[in-house]
């Protein structure tokens, strides 16, 4: 990867593809001392944090540096900020923390880099806000756990799914005791051929980079179950395989020769054309010559080492059992959770996209809600959510799910406020720390081992370096 030299702050040079800058906070609202943030990994995900610092939290936070190996992606974020921030190569992380007097590094680099980046930032004397998954394997967990023990510094995990009002509502139902003590959970997550396919186009498709979907994606879901139940996983059995994406499956299904990448291939519902989206083009296509990172690889190209169909059984410490499944090539996207308790049952059903529709050329429509009469209005599988609660000897009732303003039903705004202003008092315990991150990835790490050996795996035997039962 290209080394990126440090630069002194200077006004950004206007570029034709410069993104619209996020709205800045009025100067009067800014106190003298703001917390100094750097971002490690200025790809897709970094934008949520960058915009939050530039917008709602500009009075308490400021951006002072990028750690990013690709100069084109750092340029895109400079344009968004409206200034050229000092930028550092990953090898110079410690120098960035020292020279820029960084208080906190937001880690939005690929999953396999998290353990290295987090541990080095802590050792360099700054705190961390890290995207899920905390890391991808047991070594990574140990490395982070040791660094926290050594430095006593803070690691905040951003589990945004907890903040989604429907997931919060289910936590409220369980915590209220209305369904009694939880005895088992059944959780099915369906990723469709738009969202699910996207994990087979870039670094996620290789287990060494993402830990596979049971780590990369399901750490969200396992965190939800851990949090809903206030319990910890103790034993995991898993089975899974690559049965849809990848070159072997394409061959078996007779798909024939396919272009190596999506860009320029109209009429293929599995192709992602980076030129159709200015942001994707700037962040990835125009950045490719620096590091060879191809964002739009064919989902049926060779090299996929992750599974696309997975089933997991998890035993929890207090006795509940989780049955979980993840499918990454479903025709619709959403999830179903059933929670059985000694006094009744709760059922959460969510349809996020009722169907993947194709345009006149045969391309998948990325935002079907923009299609008149599209799947959002489907009478059979309308987009929506429903939380039912039914106690023994009673009829089912619908539990209200509050509707908030903004992305993810207002959940993202609360998460970002907790991150940048410190957690507000929350009886639901939504703010998450590194131990929640270890608990969440412990299931996927154990599942990966179980899929290799065919045996159940005890979480305590993984050597994660942390006591998951600690409060
Ligand atoms: N919570 C969510 O819903 C959610 C959504 C998307 C992504 N994420 C997480 O955010 C992270 C980033 O995902 P993304 O889609 O933005 O990926 P991305 O590939 O678009 O961006 C990652 C960036 O990190 C840079 N990078 C690579 N190695 C680095 C290193 N050692 N140090 C610093 N930077 C490095 C890359 O050049 C790239 O610019 C992942 O961990 C992912 O799981 C979370």
pLDDT score of 14: 36
pLDDT score of 19: 56
> 155-158 and 127-131: which strand pairing?
parallel
Task: Return residue ranges of the chain for CATH 3.40.50.720.
Answer: 10-159
Residue 255 is classified by DSSP as -
More confident site: 256 or 30: 256
Asked if residue 288 has pLDDT above 80, the reply is yes
Asked if residue 310 has pLDDT above 50, the reply is yes
Matching CATH number, 10-159, of 3.30.450.20, 3.30.390.30, 3.40.50.10890, 3.40.50.720: 3.40.50.720
**For residue range 32-77, what is the model confidence (pLDDT) as tens digits?**
689 999 999 999 999 999 999 999 999 999 999 999 999 999 999 9
Binding site membership of 68 for ligand 1 (Cβ less than 6 Å): yes
Q: What is the pTM of this model?
A: 0.93
Task: Return residue ranges of the chain for CATH 3.30.360.10.
Answer: 161-244+304-462
Binding site membership of 42 for ligand 1 (Cβ less than 6 Å): yes
Q: What is the 45 CA–ligand 1 centroid distance (Å)?
A: 6
Q: What is the 202 CA–ligand 1 centroid distance (Å)?
A: 11
The mean pLDDT of the chain is 92
Asked if residue 8 has pLDDT above 50, the reply is no
Nearest to 272 by CA among 305, 296, 246: 296
Tokens 């939800």 -> residue: 224
pLDDT score of 11: 32
Binding site membership of 223 for ligand 1 (Cβ less than 6 Å): no
Determine which of 177-181, 378-382, 407-411, 423-427 has the lowest per-residue pLDDT on average: 407-411
Q: Nearest residue CA, atom 38 of ligand 1?
A: 43
CB 63 within 8 A of CB 77: no
Average confidence (pLDDT) over 423-445 = 95
Average confidence (pLDDT) over 237-264 = 97
**Using alpha carbons only, how large is the chain's radius of gyration in Å?**
22
CB 23 within 8 A of CB 311: no
Binding site membership of 221 for ligand 1 (Cβ less than 6 Å): no
Output the six-digit token pair for 28: 């009067």
For 218, list phi and psi in degrees, rounded to 5: -75, -10
CB 337 within 8 A of CB 348: yes
Pocket test residue of 109, 208, 415 for ligand 1, highest count of atoms within 8 A of CB? 109
∠ CA 346-442-181, rounded to 5° = 30
Binding site membership of 70 for ligand 1 (Cβ less than 6 Å): yes
Give the CATH number of domain 161-244+304-462: 3.30.360.10
Q: What is the 211 CA–ligand 1 centroid distance (Å)?
A: 14
pLDDT score of 374: 61
């Amino acid at each position: 990867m290209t080394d990126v030299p440090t630069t002194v702050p200077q006004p950004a040079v206007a570029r034709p593809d410069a993104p619209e800058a996020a709205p800045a906070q009025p100067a009067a609202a800014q106190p003298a001392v703001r917390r100094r943030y750097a971002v490690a990994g200025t790809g897709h995900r970094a934008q949520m944090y960058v915009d939050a610092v530039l917008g709602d939290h500009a009075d308490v936070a400021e951006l002072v540096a990028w750690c990013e190996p690709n100069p084109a992606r750092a340029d895109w974020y400079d344009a968004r900020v409206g200034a050229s921030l000092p930028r550092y190569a990953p090898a110079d992380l410690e120098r960035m923390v020292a020279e820029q007097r960084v208080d906190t590094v937001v880690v939005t680099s690929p999953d396999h880099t998290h353990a290295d980046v987090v541990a080095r930032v802590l050792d360099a004397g700054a705190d961390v806000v890290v995207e899920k998954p905390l890391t991808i394997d047991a070594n990574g967990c140990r490395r982070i756990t040791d660094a926290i023990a050594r430095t006593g510094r803070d690691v905040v995990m951003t589990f945004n799914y907890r903040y989604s009002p429907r997931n919060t509502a289910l936590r409220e139902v369980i915590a209220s005791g209305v369904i009694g003590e939880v005895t088992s959970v059944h959780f099915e997550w369906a990723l469709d051929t738009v969202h699910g396919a996207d994990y087979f186009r870039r670094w996620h498709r290789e287990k060494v980079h993402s830990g596979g979907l049971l780590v990369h994606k399901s750490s969200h879901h396992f965190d939800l179950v851990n949090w809903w139940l206030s319990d910890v996983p103790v034993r995991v059995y898993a089975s899974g395989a690559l049965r849809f994406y990848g070159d072997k499956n394409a061959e078996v299904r007779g798909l024939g020769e396919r272009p190596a990448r999506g860009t320029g291939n109209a009429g293929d519902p599995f192709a992602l054309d980076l030129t159709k989206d200015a942001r994707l083009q700037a962040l990835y296509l125009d950045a490719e010559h620096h590091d060879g990172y191809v964002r739009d690889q064919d989902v049926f190209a060779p090299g996929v080492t992750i599974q696309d169909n997975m089933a997991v059984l998890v035993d929890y410490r207090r006795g509940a059992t989780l049955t979980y499944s993840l499918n990454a090539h479903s025709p619709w996207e959403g999830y179903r959770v059933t929670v059985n308790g000694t006094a009744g049952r709760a059922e959460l059903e969510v349809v996020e996209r009722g169907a993947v529709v194709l345009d006149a050329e045969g391309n998948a429509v990325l935002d079907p809600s923009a299609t008149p009469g599209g799947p959002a209005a489907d009478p059979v599988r309308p987009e929506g959510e429903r939380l039912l609660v039914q106690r023994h000897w009673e009829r089912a009732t619908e539990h209200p799910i509050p509707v908030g303003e903004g992305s993810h039903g207002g959940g993202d705004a609360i998460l970002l406020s907790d991150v940048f202003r410190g957690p507000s008092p929350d009886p639901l315990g939504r703010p998450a720390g590194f131990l929640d991150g270890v608990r969440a990835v412990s299931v996927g790490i154990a599942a990966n081992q179980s899929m290799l050996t065919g045996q159940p795996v005890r979480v305590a035997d993984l050597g994660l370096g942390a006591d998951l039962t600690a409060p």
